[in-house]
Chain A
Amino acid sequence: MPGAIEELAQAIESSSLSVALAESALAFPLIEGAHLLGLALSLGLLAVADLRLLGFVLRKAPAAQVLDQLRPWIFTGFALTFLTGGLLFWAEASRIIFNPAFIAKLVLTVLALINATLFETRLAPRLIEWGEQVRLPARVRFAAVASLSLWGGVLVTGRLIPYLS
Chain B
Amino acid sequence: MKPVLHSLQDSLLGQALRGADPAVIVGFQLVHIVGLLLLLTGVLLLALRLFNLGLRAQSTAEVAGIAGPLQNWGLAAAALSGFAMFTSNAVVYANNPALQLKLLLLAGAVLLQLTLVRRLLKKPAIGALPAAVASTSLLLWSGTALAGRAIGFV
Residues of A within 8 A of B (CB): 25, 28-30, 32-33, 36-37, 39-41, 43-45, 47-48, 57-58, 60-61, 65-66, 69-70, 72-73, 155-156, 159-160, 163
Complex Cα spacing A157 to B74, Å: 20
B48 A58 Cβ-Cβ under 8 A: no
- On chain B, the residues within 8 Å of A33 by CB distance are 145-146, 149-150
- On chain B, the residues within 8 Å of A155 by CB distance are 33-34, 37
- On chain B, the residues within 8 Å of A30 by CB distance are 146
Kindly name the residue among A32, A37, A43 whose own CB sees the greatest number of chain B CB atoms within 10 A: A37
Cross-chain contact of A44 among B26, B30, B37, B142 (Cβ < 8 A): B37
Kindly name the residue among A36, A60, A65, A155 whose own CB sees the greatest number of chain B CB atoms within 10 A: A36
Complex Cα spacing A39 to B33, Å: 10
Complex Cα spacing A73 to B34, Å: 20
Whole-angstrom distance between the Cβ of A40 and the nearest chain B Cβ: 4
Majority secondary structure, B binding face: helix
A61 B37 Cβ-Cβ under 8 A: no
Cross-chain contact of B22 among A41, A47, A163 (Cβ < 8 A): A163
Whole-angstrom distance between the Cβ of B71 and the nearest chain A Cβ: 12
Whole-angstrom distance between the Cβ of B130 and the nearest chain A Cβ: 18
Contacts A40-B44, A44-B37, A159-B29; is A29 near B150 (CB within 8 Å)? Answer: yes
Chain B residue nearest to A160 in the complex (CB): B26
Q: Which of B9-17, B49-57, B120-128 contacts A (4 or more CB under 8 A)?
A: B49-57
Residues of B within 8 A of A (CB): 22, 26, 29-30, 33-34, 36-38, 40-41, 44-45, 48, 53-58, 62, 66, 142, 145-146, 149-150, 153
Complex Cα spacing A61 to B65, Å: 14
Contacts A41-B44, A45-B45, A69-B55; is A28 near B37 (CB within 8 Å)? Answer: no
Complex Cα spacing A41 to B36, Å: 12
Contacts A29-B153, A33-B145, A159-B33; is A69 near B41 (CB within 8 Å)? Answer: no
Kindly name the residue among A25, A29, A30, A41 whose own CB sees the greatest number of chain B CB atoms within 10 A: A29
- On chain A, the residues within 8 Å of B146 by CB distance are 29-30, 33, 36-37
Cross-chain contact of B40 among A40, A58, A160 (Cβ < 8 A): A40
Contacts A29-B150, A37-B142; is A73 near B66 (CB within 8 Å)? Answer: no
Contacts A44-B44, A45-B44; is A32 near B149 (CB within 8 Å)? Answer: yes
Whole-angstrom distance between the Cβ of A38 and the nearest chain B Cβ: 10
